[in-house]
Structure 1
Amino acid sequence: MEHVPRVDLLQLADLGTARKPFDLLRWYAWVSLAIIFSIAVGLGLISSRFIIDESVERDALLTAQFIQSIGDAEVRHVSIPNVRSMGELLDPRMDEAMPDVDPVARRKARGEFLDHVAHLPDVLLANIYAPDRTVIWSSNPALTGDVIEADDDLERAFEYKKRVSASYHNFDDARVEQMFVTPPQQLFIENYIPLFDADGERVTAMVEIYKEPHDLIVRIEHGLLLIWLAIILGAVLVYGGLYWIMRRAARQLALQQKRLISNETFVALGEVSSAVAHSLRNPLASIRSSAELAQAFDEGPAQKNISDIIIQVDRMSHWVRQLLQSLRPLNDEAVPVDLPVALHESLQAFAMPLRRGGVELELANVPDVRVLGQPALLGQIFHSVIANALEAMDQGGRLRVEVVRQDRRYLTLRLTDTGHGMSEQQQRMAFRPFFTTKQGGLGVGLMLVKRIMERFGGSIRLSSKEGTGTSVLLSFRLVNGT
């Protein structure tokens, strides 16, 4: 049985337990969504409760002021002597305790007051309690004379001598005092309004009002709707804004990480390539010198082989120079460069190859602008792009150069050929180092163009279709757009 090394098992275990890379944007999206949603719901609930409580309390205050004002007005209206409070007039059981008070005036004041209470707007039920919790009057006559016990709201109203308001959505069948003649349809409000004696210290009667204020309910519903819409809109805007900022930051981090990896890769490749190139230069020079010497003294059939040696050595030397140039750091400072001059110089250098290749040049008017860069590097950009276009049109064709976009900061130049074109996979690989579709090519031309364009704040894009041609978009940063 073949022995499996332990290191292989450990590697397999590491692969099996390898974790996925941490997705900062996704983590932030879910966490921020949960936090913002929780805060929004909390604010919504607090605001809704505040609106409801304030509205109910305001309605209760107005009702209490109205009831107390009616009581005072009725007492003054009948001019009852020795009685200065409506609360002392409401209990019929106390009529005999005040023989000096005119019974007709007393009944008139009490009747007017109770009539006002019974006809208050939106009233479902009205009860009046004596201090012993007996119902001395009710808009539902069936409740008159009942003693109400174990009513916390009523006890609290008598104890603290303050109005007590409570809202309910469903009435409690177990509560005797909630015997509505007309049952409420939705929300109703319960108010306890204390009436005091003439000195304002002792509660002589408690008025209980059940109301279903339709206008108030509609206003509360509209207010709650506006609150929740505002909270939802605010939460969406906050989440969208923070997500956009985080997404942009994540992209910047990913771009910086990509650039850092690319720079580290280029540094490593540069060190290796420099060592290899310097090691090859001397042997190549010796081989070429020996071949030239042999070619000078040997005129026999070996001349063709010697010439092939010199050609191959020259090609390898060109590769070495191109490799070193593509991997060297781009530390040159950006200076203003005349774009039309650099473009025309490059096209002039390719005038003869274009004519020999049967390529027709169409040059649109290029505005007189200056872009950020270096004259030599800008010429190298045009040299690489034009050379690629010329090699793609080995059977002739047309090369068109035109400006497709210009604004305050950037100018975009498009070079379009009618060559073989590229597949989608080739387009994705075009800017990677050492990828080439040319026989004998090194694959660093477009990579170097991309590095130079990005070094000076520009960009390069490529679009192509097999059998149709290729378009290269070069976006240069203008000098006045810095």
Structure 2
Amino acid sequence: MTTARPDPRLMRHFALTGALAIACFSAAMAWWLTVFLETRLVERDAALSHDFVQSIVDTQRVAELIRQGNASDASVIEFVSHVAAMPDVLRANLYSTDRKVLWSSRPELIGQVFSANEELDEALAGEVVTHRSSGEGDEPLKAEHLLLPSGPDRFVENYLPIRSGPVLVGVVELYREPVALNDAIFNGRLRVWLGAAAGAVFLFLSLMWFVLRTERALREQQSRLVEAEALAMVGELSAAVAHSIRNPLGVIRSSGELQREMGADAPPQLCDDVIRSADRIEHLVRTLLTYAREPGGRDEQSSLDQLLQEAAARFEPDLLAQGKPFEVQLAPQLGHVAVDPVLMAQVLASVLANAAEATQRGQAVRLQASAEGPWAKVVVADEGCGIPPEQLADVTRPFMTTKPRGLGLGLALVRRVVERLGGRIELDSPAGGGTRVTLHLPRT
């Protein structure tokens, strides 16, 4: 019985869809943050420039001269010279309230009036206006952009209203190439995009981890459901056939024993085969019934030393009679395990029976046990044919067997009992042959 595997295409489609959605969201957020960062930095730079220019106006007391349009006064010339000497300034213009250029660092522009200038209109309304060119080279040039120095492909244009108290007296227009500002914007944009990329990767990996963990939990739950269905099937099957099989089976075994004792015409070896086959059927029926019922509670105790010695004593004569060496190494004082002794004996019998059936004459079976702190370690190893690697992970599932005459419940029972105890089972089948079953049992 195999467990249905999830469709790998579903996981692949989910990963692609999730990656695309996260990438789009992260790109949109990064774009919005870079626009916000650039806008705020440019606005802050313009506000600082406005405060600086207004402080020069107040210090040199030229507001009234500018309002009168007296651009030839020495104080006004000194003022505009200071403005034009500000760092990163490409050009400085001084506008009167009637939109006329009173002074410019380019004398060709003095006296001109430029129409259709929305930024200047906003500045004349008292607003600090800023505009940053894209640097793409495809923006239409306005009339006042003429005669700008060639070379810079990204500049900032500031319209800074100047006042005399509450009265607006003019507008200073600055064309600047702010290297520090451009560097700050570039570094900020780079960090935003790198942060968005790192966040997207982290979010995607976290989502995939959660999905894979959920998928693993669902797969385990599905496996338990399949096992529960198998258990219900075993219960119904065992209840239907157990008594019907055991009664004639007892008669067959008794007849074989009677014929062997009376020395009938049948060869003794034939009687032994009948008895051994009857015992095998009895073992299969007992395994079926044992698996069908729930393991006992943890209030029951089993002496592991006694159970291992009894199991070794039970299997040793048959193994030696079949020409299979049986090696036993049991450490003293292994302690107890919290399980019904009959059930634990059946667990050991299932593992040893598998080892006996997997070996041929001359191939050894080994039973080892040791104590490792709070754990008891029981190892059953054989030199048989081994288990194919592709079947190794499934042999502890109900009805999974590599033997043509097996029920596939022996190792399933072992795993079920050991896991209910809080222990674990390990199976190893090297390429050279042989199988090693290790039981880790919590001691009490």
- TM-score between the two structures when normalised by the length of structure 1: 0.76
Deviation at 1:385, TM superposition (A): 2.3
Give the aligned residue type for 2:53.
I
CA distance in 1, matches of 2:91, 2:332: 89
CA distance in 2, matches of 1:334, 1:23: 48
The one of the two structures with greater contact order (alpha-carbon pairs below 8 A, sep at least 6) is 2
Give the corresponding residue for 1:119. 85
CA distance in 2, matches of 1:421, 1:304: 33
Secondary structure at 2:73's aligned position in 1? helix
1:151 and 2:117 correspond: yes
The structure-2 alpha-carbon separation of the partners of 1:185 and 1:457, relative to structure 1 and needing over 3 Å to count, comes to farther
Deviation at 1:236, TM superposition (A): 2.4
CA distance in 2, matches of 1:303, 1:397: 29
CA distance in 1, matches of 2:166, 2:112: 27
Aligned with residue 132 of structure 2, among 167, 177, 188: 167
Deviation at 1:70, TM superposition (A): 0.8
Give the corresponding residue for 1:55. 41
- The answer to whether the Cα contact below 8 Å between 1:91 and 1:130 also exists between their aligned partners in 2 is no
Aligned with residue 136 of structure 1, among 102, 107, 120: 102
CA distance in 1, matches of 2:426, 2:260: 50
Deviation at 1:39, TM superposition (A): 3.3
1:87 and 2:66 correspond: yes
1:173-203 CA-to-partner distances (Å, cap 9, x unmatched) read 531111254235343211110122x3423x3
Aligned with residue 189 of structure 1, among 126, 148, 156: 156
The structure-2 alpha-carbon separation of the partners of 1:229 and 1:433, relative to structure 1 and needing over 3 Å to count, comes to same
The structure-2 alpha-carbon separation of the partners of 1:309 and 1:363, relative to structure 1 and needing over 3 Å to count, comes to closer
1:258 and 2:223 correspond: yes
CA distance in 2, matches of 1:245, 1:124: 56
1:143-165 CA-to-partner distances (Å, cap 9, x unmatched) read 22222111221122223x11011
Give the corresponding residue for 1:269. 234
Deviation at 1:69, TM superposition (A): 0.7
Give the corresponding residue for 1:395. 362
CA distance in 1, matches of 2:291, 2:202: 47
The structure-2 alpha-carbon separation of the partners of 1:368 and 1:149, relative to structure 1 and needing over 3 Å to count, comes to farther
- The answer to whether the Cα contact below 8 Å between 2:365 and 2:380 also exists between their aligned partners in 1 is no
CA distance in 2, matches of 1:68, 1:369: 92
Q: Which moved more, 1:450-459 or 1:51-60?
A: 450-459
1:46 and 2:32 correspond: yes
1:329 and 2:315 correspond: no
- TM-score between the two structures when normalised by the length of structure 2: 0.82
Q: Which moved more, 1:222-231 or 1:345-354?
A: 345-354
1:178-233 CA-to-partner distances (Å, cap 9, x unmatched) read 1254235343211110122x3423x3211111111111211222222222323322
CA distance in 2, matches of 1:366, 1:236: 55
- The answer to whether the Cα contact below 8 Å between 1:165 and 1:192 also exists between their aligned partners in 2 is yes
Deviation at 1:85, TM superposition (A): 3.6
CA distance in 1, matches of 2:147, 2:420: 83
The structure-2 alpha-carbon separation of the partners of 1:287 and 1:399, relative to structure 1 and needing over 3 Å to count, comes to closer
Give the corresponding residue for 2:202. 237
Give the corresponding residue for 1:176. 143
Aligned with residue 352 of structure 2, among 386, 393, 397: 386
Deviation at 1:110, TM superposition (A): 0.8
Which structure 2 residue ranges, 5 or more long, are not aligned?
1-5
The structure-2 alpha-carbon separation of the partners of 1:333 and 1:368, relative to structure 1 and needing over 3 Å to count, comes to closer
- The answer to whether the Cα contact below 8 Å between 2:367 and 2:378 also exists between their aligned partners in 1 is no
CA distance in 2, matches of 1:212, 1:400: 86
Deviation at 1:465, TM superposition (A): 3.2
Deviation at 1:355, TM superposition (A): 5.7
Give the corresponding residue for 2:178. 213
The structure-2 alpha-carbon separation of the partners of 1:402 and 1:301, relative to structure 1 and needing over 3 Å to count, comes to closer
Q: Which moved more, 1:29-38 or 1:464-473?
A: 29-38
CA distance in 1, matches of 2:370, 2:260: 53
- The answer to whether the Cα contact below 8 Å between 1:294 and 1:306 also exists between their aligned partners in 2 is no
Secondary structure at 2:87's aligned position in 1? coil
CA distance in 2, matches of 1:478, 1:237: 43
CA distance in 1, matches of 2:390, 2:332: 32
Identity percentage of aligned residues? 34
Deviation at 1:65, TM superposition (A): 0.6
Give the corresponding residue for 2:22. 36
1:53-75 CA-to-partner distances (Å, cap 9, x unmatched) read 22111111110011111111112
Show the 5 A alignment for 1:464-479.
464-465=429-430, 467-477=432-442
Aligned with residue 200 of structure 1, among 166, 169, 187: 166
Q: Which moved more, 1:311-320 or 1:218-227?
A: 311-320
CA distance in 2, matches of 1:450, 1:51: 61
CA distance in 2, matches of 1:148, 1:407: 93
Aligned length: 434
CA distance in 2, matches of 1:361, 1:424: 26
CA distance in 1, matches of 2:192, 2:298: 57
Which structure 1 residue ranges, 5 or more long, are not aligned?
1-19, 76-82, 93-105
